[in-house]
Structure 1
């Protein structure tokens, strides 16, 4: 088969479409013939040499895909050859085929284009596991989403609204109209506005009950300041750096909490539990049309370098997909 390889770390030009060995399904795995994968920020880091795949994962980038099951390994039940699926991956989505643990498979939701389904697994699992399972977002609460125009952000806006929360987002001004269409109640231009002041104004001084943060260090102090009493900050990215000083007094005064999580490196059983939760709690919302994949554009897999440049520019809204056909 062919896959996007990274012979040497570097810029987008480091991505090379090349012949590689075909995957074989191990025990508990299936092989998926890939229709599409999606570009995630982690793929850019891997290309640059900063985020290697976990042990045992394919060397190729790609944390999710959609496609058709073409082979089934030993001890797999409940799935059939020819079935349309999408999948959460530890790597290998930028390829014509990929071996996937059966616990990380999801059926393509009813009413969703089988190619666009590639935009769902990573964002659905990330947002649900952090906003719902960890931070326990409840109806009537306020959710602040940083990076609202990203794949994670556009999904979090929709899921938060579907769960009955009021959703605030930070994003470039050019993306605000689209985010309001998706359900954001208040949009904040992070380049021109102080999000702490904006959150206070939008909530009557209450603050955000849950904050989903992709920035890390550069936002830590302001995120704590923006939290409501009993608020929960979940950090899932470090685009603004790794290290910052945390004012424990401010955190204690609000009886608030800070958590940081990653998805790719989790054990298989934990990933399978997250996928089950998404199938049970999120897929019905997708099939009801309350949450939908947001796809900025589709590009051929061979144009992976162009797709990486687009994501690095932050000019997209939602997901950029790479298709095999």
Structure 2
């Protein structure tokens, strides 16, 4: 069997390595993609440093590249199509390797106006946003998007960590579907951008009275309870987000927390510590619903499985409803060096931008 190089992790905090893995031939409904670009995400760091939900092997999830092989049942793509997507279920779908072989519903065609290096910033965050909104917050996102606002367009929705990749895409998704009262927390230098994207109000999560500010704004001119019905926590930090959120919730509030729960974040000095359950991490009022979100579970929704990456994601990017995230290109003389540098930058907390890097050395 033919093989190709892949970046793998062998043990928590161990140096990454290059391994030659099998090049998987397409099944009937699959495509093989030469990976030109990928993005290193916090989840990659959680896996590399903390061994989170991983059998050590090929890392990576978001990819952008060129179709080089088609299964016999694939109709909407061609050899040479530029595609992007989010793969996560096994070695052949992981992105830190020269080729991925994925079912056609795990990729979409890159709009002609968007460079592959920009497109690769989106897939995992888009999947997280749509799945969190529909499955955990129970907000319907009918497709195609209706030409009128939803009946509950004025519902208050709080995104904690809205400048994160998942938070930014979630804001864009909610605004595009017509939700008008999305509140956000972020560092001050992100506030102008989040308002431009449609946030009704933005708060500095580091302010000692941030919770009080949010509640004051939420209650302004309103008598309904709870003051904030829906909260999405895009940070998942016990001290940095879950406990402050618990203070602003009331009976009837629904809270969705992106997993894993971070008890201690990865750093150059300490091993990380995680949990996969939110229960017990903060004291919530009686009647508050709290749910941890596992993005990979979106495939349980048959409609989203069929359409989210192949149809919705490219269409929303083509019309500018969801835009590429701010990114930094990580350079390096080799595939391994680029992968190691990206993880090191994330571990040091230097960059809040998407860290993108070339895999094949081709394609732009």
How does the TM-score come out when normalised to structure 2? 0.75
Q: Which residue is equivalent to 1:176?
A: 191
CA pair 69-96 structure 1, distance change in 2 beyond 3 A:
same
Q: Report the CA distance between 1:31 and its aligned residue.
A: 1.0
Q: Report the CA distance between 1:171 and its aligned residue.
A: 2.6
Q: Is the 8 A contact 1:28 1:75 kept in 2?
A: yes
CA pair 53-99 structure 1, distance change in 2 beyond 3 A:
farther
Q: Distance in 2 between matches of 1:38 and 1:245?
A: 30
Q: Secondary structure at the match of 2:330?
A: strand
Q: Distance in 1 between matches of 2:306 and 2:210?
A: 32
Q: Secondary structure at the match of 1:293?
A: coil
CA pair 299-275 structure 1, distance change in 2 beyond 3 A:
farther
Q: Report the CA distance between 1:280 and its aligned residue.
A: 5.1
Q: Which residue is equivalent to 1:226?
A: 248
Q: Distance in 2 between matches of 1:122 and 1:142?
A: 25
Deviation sequence 1:95-141 (CA, Å, 0-9, x none):
22111122212221353222211111111111011113441445222
Among residues 169, 182, 186, which one is paired with 2:201 in the alignment?
A: 186
Q: Is the 8 A contact 2:251 2:286 kept in 1?
A: no
Q: Which residue is equivalent to 2:342?
A: 307
Among residues 141, 145, 169, which one is paired with 1:155 in the alignment?
A: 169
The answer to whether 1:236 aligns with 2:258 is yes
Unaligned residue ranges in structure 2 (runs of 5+): 140-151, 264-273
Q: Distance in 2 between matches of 1:228 and 1:285?
A: 34
Q: Which residue is equivalent to 2:231?
A: 211
Among residues 262, 268, 289, which one is paired with 2:294 in the alignment?
A: 262
Q: Which residue is equivalent to 1:143?
A: 157
Among residues 347, 351, 355, which one is paired with 1:320 in the alignment?
A: 355
CA pair 165-224 structure 1, distance change in 2 beyond 3 A:
farther
CA pair 33-230 structure 1, distance change in 2 beyond 3 A:
same
The answer to whether 1:287 aligns with 2:318 is yes
CA pair 232-318 structure 1, distance change in 2 beyond 3 A:
farther
Equivalenced residues, count: 315
Deviates more, 1:79-88 or 1:297-306: 297-306
Deviates more, 1:307-316 or 1:98-107: 307-316
Q: Report the CA distance between 1:305 and its aligned residue.
A: 2.0
Q: Which residue is equivalent to 1:43?
A: 44
Q: Which residue is equivalent to 1:24?
A: 25
Deviates more, 1:25-34 or 1:266-275: 266-275
Q: Secondary structure at the match of 1:285?
A: helix
Q: Is the 8 A contact 1:28 1:102 kept in 2?
A: yes
Q: Report the CA distance between 1:19 and its aligned residue.
A: 4.0
Q: Which residue is equivalent to 1:61?
A: 59
CA pair 292-31 structure 1, distance change in 2 beyond 3 A:
same
Deviates more, 1:149-158 or 1:314-323: 314-323
Among residues 10, 15, 18, which one is paired with 2:13 in the alignment?
A: 10
Q: Distance in 2 between matches of 1:282 and 1:116?
A: 14
Q: Report the CA distance between 1:92 and its aligned residue.
A: 1.8
Q: Distance in 2 between matches of 1:86 and 1:212?
A: 26
Q: Distance in 1 between matches of 2:125 and 2:188?
A: 23
Q: Distance in 2 between matches of 1:279 and 1:228?
A: 38
Q: Is the 8 A contact 1:34 1:66 kept in 2?
A: yes
How does the TM-score come out when normalised to structure 1? 0.83
Q: Is the 8 A contact 2:62 2:86 kept in 1?
A: yes
Q: Secondary structure at the match of 2:229?
A: strand
Q: Secondary structure at the match of 1:87?
A: strand
Unaligned residue ranges in structure 1 (runs of 5+): none
Q: Distance in 1 between matches of 2:304 and 2:81?
A: 21
Q: Which residue is equivalent to 1:120?
A: 122
Larger Rg: 2
Q: Is the 8 A contact 2:105 2:305 kept in 1?
A: no
